[in-house]
Amino acid sequence: MENSNIREIVLPGDMVDLQGNKPGTGIYMEDGKAYSEILGVKTVRSGYVNIIPLTGRYHPQKGDKVIGKVIDVLPSNWVLDINAPYLAPLHVNETSWKIDFGDTGKFLNIGDTVLAKIMSVNEVKQVWLTMKEQGLRKLEGGHIISVSPTKVPRIIGKEGSMIKMLKETTNTKIYIGQNGVIWIDGETDNILKVVGAIRMIEREAHTIGLTDRIKEYLNKS
């Protein structure tokens, strides 16, 4: 694997060699052997073998920062689409605004975009959002694009290396929601450049040496 340019891809039911590590996410055990549950990429991190899905919808987790689109306004709630299997409500009490009952539409309206945090997820994956934290706000201007949520770690890069490079070379502001929605603000030409780079990361996420190629792409154009 070390010599190959591609990470190991496993199919559901494929036997996974744990190499002395513990089974992590995306793995089930049978007769003492480990098998993959999903189509994904095998990764080993801090003593666990995880299968990272190649594709799929966003599965909300408590504490994730996500970017959502307001699709309905209710007297004391907004309904947000966060690219998850279910829509997510945001209650007026979970914002820093002081809102009278029924005045929700004055603060956020249909079509607005919000950076929010997942406050809780219950056992049937119903989600509650919150905006009560510094930095969580309504997003204005710029551009939003969607990528597969499974590619988000790759776009952020190791300790934020990829996203830092994108921001610095193009002089843009970028927020990446864990749900795969990305907000980019800056000069139009720079936004287009970032979008191009992100699409390239998306396509080549499973290959090694991607950061260098992205650097090349950004410097070239």
Partner 1 sequence: MSKFTENVVSEITKDYIKKLLEKGTRLDGRTADEYRKIEVQRNFIPRADGSALVKIGKTQVLVGVKVEKGPPFPDTPNLGILATNAELVPLASPTFEPGPPGEEAIELARVVDRGIREGKVIDLEKLVIKENELVWVVFADIHVLDYDGNLFDASSLATMIALLNTKVPAKRNDLGEDFNLPINHIAVANTFVKIGDNIVVDPNLDEENIATARITVSTTEDGKVHAIQKGLEGSFTYEEILNTIDSAKRIGKDIRENIISGVD
- When binding is defined by CB under 8 A, the residue of 9, 18, 44, 139 that contacts partner 1 is 139
CB of 183 to partner 1, least distance (A): 7
CB of 112 to partner 1, least distance (A): 6
What b/e readout covers 9-38, taking b as 16+ CB neighbours within 10 angstroms?
A: ebeeebebebeebebbebbeeeeeebbbbb
**Can you spell out the DSSP letters for 35-51?**
EESSSEEEEEETTEEEE
What is the pattern of x (binds partner 1, CB under 8 A) and - over residues 150-189? ---------------------------------x----x-
Placement of tokens 């891809």 in the chain: 9
Q: Judged by CB under 8 A, how many residues of this single chain contact partner 1?
A: 21
**200 touches partner 1 (CB under 8 A):** no
Q: Which is nearer to partner 1, 100 or 140 (CB)?
A: 140
DSSP assigned state of 8: P
**35 touches partner 1 (CB under 8 A):** no
CB of 137 to partner 1, least distance (A): 13
The first and second tokens of residue 33, run together, are 């052997």
**136 touches partner 1 (CB under 8 A):** no
**Which residues in 79-98 contact partner 1 (CB under 8 A)?**
79, 81, 87
Q: Please state, in angstroms and rounded to a whole number, the distance separating the CA atoms of residues 19 and 17.
A: 6
CB of 140 to partner 1, least distance (A): 7
CB of 113 to partner 1, least distance (A): 5
Q: Please state, in angstroms and rounded to a whole number, the distance separating the CA atoms of residues 91 and 209.
A: 43
**20 touches partner 1 (CB under 8 A):** no
**110 touches partner 1 (CB under 8 A):** yes
What's the Cα-to-Cα distance from 162 to each of 155, 209, 210, rounded to whole Å? 6, 12, 9
CB 49 within 8 A of CB 61: no
Query: Within 10 Å of residue 125's Cβ, how many Cβ atoms?
Result: 11
**144 touches partner 1 (CB under 8 A):** yes
Q: Which residues bind partner 1 (CB under 8 A)?
A: 69-72, 79, 81, 87, 110-113, 139-144, 183, 188, 191-192
